[in-house]
Amino acid sequence: MSIRTVFAALALALLAAAPAQAAERRVDLSSFDKLRVEGPFHVTLTTALSPRGLLAGDAKALRQVEALVMGSTLVVRRSGSGDAPVTLTLAAPPLSGVTVIGGAQVTVQALKGDALVLSVTGTGELRIGRADGDQLAATLLGPARLSIDGGRVGKARLSAIGPATIAADALEAGDLVATLDGPGEIAARARYTAAVANGGLGRVTVAGTPKCRVTGGGPVRCGGK
């Protein structure tokens, strides 16, 4: 093997081992009140008067990312097949809905509105700092995770299918409907009434002192009972 061949092989090896080039890309956004994230993104949204966004990650991966407002929904997804990690930092007024599909990790500072809708499918994780509104509906499917760290709603509907986890006992709901089907877990809080259906092996726990109605054979602890 010649010296030239050796150096060429070493150069190729070093190039392959070199870390991906980090880059940033600003995202021009119009107004939106819902967020939909498709794929393995890290998304953080803080409350602000006007919307703005910043993408960060591998330069090649950023070129494959689409962040478009469609109607009143900001949709974040990849146009290619890459899986390099990408972070999206957003600022916007409080949202009324969030949908997470795939392995995304999404943190939203605040939700506010008459009807709040949350959906997490797959291995995604959604964390809400505070939710305030008349009604809140959350649906999880698969090994998804949802936590709501505060707020108040008139009525909450929480549904977990499969090994999903909902931690919403810091959210005060006037009336609660909780449905669990599978080995997952739901923790919630209600003030007036709680209708709980647990047909799985997981546990449902309802804090507060609501009037409880329980169906299904799965373990339930409601209102301290």
pLDDT digits (tens, 9 = 90+) for 97-148: 999 998 999 999 999 999 999 999 999 999 999 999 999 999 999 999 999 9
- Expressed as residue numbers, the domain containing 102 is 3-222
Q: What integer pLDDT is reported at residue 7 of this predicted model?
A: 37
Residue 98's CB: how many other CB atoms inside 10 A? 24
pLDDT above 50: residue 17: no
Percent share of the chain, pLDDT over 70: 88
What number is the average pLDDT over the span 57-78?
A: 92
CATH number for the domain harbouring residue 129: 2.160.20.120
| pLDDT for residue 82 | 66
Contact 135, 160 (CB under 8 A): no
**Number of structural domains in the chain:** 1
Closest by CA to 67, choosing from 51, 81, 82, is 51
> Between 23 and 127, whose confidence is greater?
127
pTM: 0.88
Q: Looking at the DSSP assignment, which residues form a beta bridge with residue 169? A: none
Q: Give, as one character, the DSSP assignment of residue 180.
A: E
- Stretch 162-172: mean pLDDT, rounded? 98
Band (12; pLDDT cuts 50, 70, 90):
very low
Answer for the pair 47, 110: CB distance below 8 angstroms, yes or no: yes
Mean pLDDT value of segment 189-196: 98
